[in-house]
Amino acid sequence: MDTLARERAFKHDLFLNEIWSDRYFDLIVKNLSLHEAETILYLNAGTGRNCFRLAENHSAAKQIVGVCDSPEHLVIARDKAKVSGSDILFVTETEVGNKYDLVIADATLSDSESVTDLLSSAAGLLNRGGQFALIVPIFGSYAEVFSLLWEVLASAEGGSPEAVERLITALPRLDALEIAARETGLHEVKSEVSTEIFEFEKPEDFTDSPLFADFLLPGWLADIDKTALETIRKKIAELIEQEHGNLAFRFQVKAAVITGKS
């Protein structure tokens, strides 16, 4: 097993679940009728946090299946299920064979360009009359961070601030997602957008956080090597300190939940 990937999966479990996954879970629950679903599929389940929360607090489902997005996440999720005595089934994408009363597609850390494909494949896994939910950051998210990233890349020798412009424009737009949902055959398509604010007391609290250092930044700049990413990360920290001093740093995410029925 890849050591770096294993470390990243543990960071997801230890740090991201509380600061990231819980925010989105609350939005999902608010927009669904969980009591109507006997079988639930959660796509991109990470290390299983939201699947366990579904089982413990919000559902009388007979079966909950979580699709983990890496072998490393899968190992952690299955270990947690075993220790807790949970009957949640954690699988890989290739092991999903049935259809479900409720399918939740978590695109909160997905490549923006893959969101429409995720929506389409998720909708195809619904039983007739089943519920669907997609949770995703949409256009307008991360503006504060992208501004800093653009400034750092623009000032670096050989830097490419155009990469930031591509990140901004690649974020999915709400109307396009609603259209894509209807094109899959879903009806009663609805959406809700919540502005989620993430606040960090000091610049380094943000730039050193696993959320930024291990997930967001490497995901945004996937073509840049690790050494260059580390330099960019440090320069962003310096820039935040110059601009904000001792004030807290915050950024906003426009979190959208798109729901529908098959």
DSSP 207-227: HTSHIIIIIIHHHHTTTS-HH
The domains found in the chain, sorted by start residue, are 3-261 (3.40.50.150)
What are the tens digits of pLDDT across the range 108-140? 999 888 999 999 989 999 999 999 999 999 999
- More confident position, 16 or 193: 193
Please report which helix (H) or strand (E) contains residue 166, including its range.
Answer: helix 162-170
Place of tokens 């997905």: 110
Query: Does residue 156 surpass a pLDDT of 90?
Result: no
pTM of the model: 0.92
Question: Where does the pLDDT of residue 161 fall: very low under 50, low under 70, confident under 90, or very high at 90 and above?
Answer: confident
For 232, how many CA atoms within 13 A lie in the half-sphere containing its CB?
30
Amino acid letter for position 38: E
3-state SS assignment for residue 91: strand
Tokens representing 213 are 């250092």
3-state SS assignment for residue 259: strand
What are the tens digits of pLDDT across the range 15-62? 888 888 888 888 888 888 777 788 999 999 999 999 999 998 776 788
User: Average of pLDDT values for 81-108?
Assistant: 89
